[in-house]
Amino acid sequence: MPKVSEAHRSARRAEIVDAAARAFARTGYRGTSMASIIEESGLSAGAIYGHFAGKQELFVAVASRVLAARTSELDQRAAGRPPLSPGELIATLLDGVRREPFSHVIVLLWAEALVDPEIHRLVNGVFARLRSTITERLEEWAAYAPGRVDGDPHEWAARAAPVVLGLAPGFLVQRTVADDFDEDAYLREVVGLLPR
């Protein structure tokens, strides 16, 4: 039997994650079964389970990919210029998230995390990574131009990150449930309201 290359395995995993993202976007986390992900992918159950243990692991893979894409966008946006301000940072993240077909599922997952300990653990892990990314970027910004914040940039960033991150649920919930929500205005105001 020929050996499968790492490039092939990576491409197959990406294909499976794409299928899972489409399924989650269509029917939410609770409404998506492994059978529906298998059907969406067009692959065999063995092909899926050879890469992922189940739906929860696939959710983490989808969420991790979304987070990696947002981190990459931040890197591209900041390349060759001063660090992004707190408002630019969260606006860039939110703008990227809203372009993801998976974004409305995030609100459903937060609700699921209230009643399902395993979902809580998974969502908490993704949040922790996102908070760490925001904290690092805020610290870079605070250190770039001393005097913008009170105290040590590291300590300030640790305190400010949960506040800045708190703007994301407000955006995503309003985007999901408020018919008259102006996403672009929200992102513009975030940039103007936070320190620059």
Could you read off the pLDDT of 66-105 as tens digits, one per residue? 878 888 888 888 788 899 999 999 999 999 989 887 777 7
133-165: pLDDT as tens digits: 999 999 999 999 788 888 899 999 999 999 999
Which amino acid is residue 55, in one-letter code?
A: K
Confidence of residue 123 (pLDDT cuts 50, 70, 90): confident
Query: Could you tell me the fold of the domain covering 54-193?
Result: Tetracycline Repressor; domain 2 (1.10.357)
Q: Pick 73 or 181 by higher pLDDT.
A: 181
Average pLDDT of the chain, as a whole number: 89
Overall pTM surpassing 0.85 (yes/no): no
Residue 13 is encoded by which pair of tokens? Answer: 């995993």
Residue 37 is encoded by which pair of tokens? Answer: 């992900």
User: What is the mean predicted confidence (pLDDT) over 108-116?
Assistant: 83
Note whether 109 and 115 are within 8 A (CB). Answer: no
Query: Residue 1 has what pLDDT?
Result: 52
Report the distance separating Cα 14 and Cα 149, nearest Å.
Answer: 41
Distance from the Cα of residue 45 to its chain's centroid: 27
